[in-house]
Amino acid sequence: MEDQVKRRAYEMWEADGSPIGQDQQYWFKAMAEIAAAGVATIKPARKRVAKAKKAA
């Protein structure tokens, strides 16, 4: 994941004109973006339905 964050931070930094001294800002923006994309792919747990017991 670190490589993915590194690439994305660099892409955003270049797109903004390569400002000096803002490396952490772009790193955290990239981490937040990638984390949000990961959370969006998580499926919610299925509801479990209790099975009816048979009378003996």
pTM: 0.66
Task: Establish if 55 belongs to a structural domain.
Answer: no
Task: Establish if 28 belongs to a structural domain.
Answer: yes
Task: Establish if 24 belongs to a structural domain.
Answer: yes
Per the structure, the complete domain to which residue 28 belongs is given by: 2-40
Task: Establish if 53 belongs to a structural domain.
Answer: no
Task: Establish if 29 belongs to a structural domain.
Answer: yes
Task: Establish if 36 belongs to a structural domain.
Answer: yes
Task: Establish if 27 belongs to a structural domain.
Answer: yes
1-56, pLDDT tens digit by residue?
A: 889 999 999 999 999 999 999 989 999 999 999 999 887 777 777 777 777 777 66
Task: Establish if 7 belongs to a structural domain.
Answer: yes
Alpha helices, DSSP H only, in 1-56?
2-15, 23-40
Number of domains forming the structure of the chain? 1
6 contacts: CB under 8 Å, gap ≥ 6 = 30
Helix axes 2-15, 23-40, angle to 10 degrees: 120
pLDDT of residue 41: 77
